[in-house]
A and B are shown apart, each in its own frame.
Chain A
Amino acid sequence: KNEVEQSPQNLTAQEGEFITINCSYSVGISALHWLQQHPGGGIVSLFMLSSGKKKHGRLIATINIQEKHSSLHITASHPRDSAVYICAVQGDKLIFGTGTRLQVFP
Chain B
Amino acid sequence: DTGVSQNPRHKITKRGQNVTFRCDPISEHNRLYWYRQTLGQGPEFLTYFQNEAQLEKSRLLSDRFSAERPKGSFSTLEIQRTEQGDSAMYLCASSPPNTGELFFGEGSRLTVL
Interface residues of A (CB under 8 A from B): 4, 30-31, 33, 35, 40-45, 48, 86, 88, 90, 93-99
Asked if B65 CB lies within 8 Å of chain A CBs, one says no
Which listed residue, B37, B56, B101, B102, touches A93 by the CB 8 Å rule?
Answer: B56
Residues of B within 8 A of A42 (CB): 104, 106-107
Identify which of B21-29, B42-50, B69-77, B78-86 touches chain A: B42-50
Closest 5 CB pairs of A and B: A96-B42, A41-B107, A43-B104, A98-B42, A42-B106
Q: Say yes or no: A41-B102 contact (C-beta < 8 A), given A93-B56, A96-B42.
A: no
B83-113 contact mask (Cβ, 8 Å, vs A): 1 or 0 = 0000001010100000111111011010000
Q: How large is the interface on B (under 10, 10 to 19, 20 to 34, 35 or more residues)?
A: 20 to 34
Query: Across the A-B interface, how many residue pairs have beta carbons closer than 8 Å?
Result: 53
Chain B residues with CB below 8 A from A99, complex form:
41-42
Q: Which residue of B lies closest to A31 (CB)?
A: B100
- In this complex, what residue of B is CB-closest to A40? B106
A50 to B66, CA, bound (A): 33
Is the Cβ of A41 less than 8 Å from the Cβ of B106?
yes
Query: Measured between alpha carbons, how far is A35 from B33 in the docked complex, in Å?
Result: 15
Residues B41 and A33 in contact, CB atoms below 8 Å apart: no
User: Nearest-CB distance from B71 to chain A (Å)?
Assistant: 24
Output the nearest chain A residue to B40 by Cβ-Cβ distance.
A98
Known: A41-B91, A41-B109. A96 touches B43 (CB 8 A): yes
Pair B42/A93 contact, Cβ less than 8 Å: no
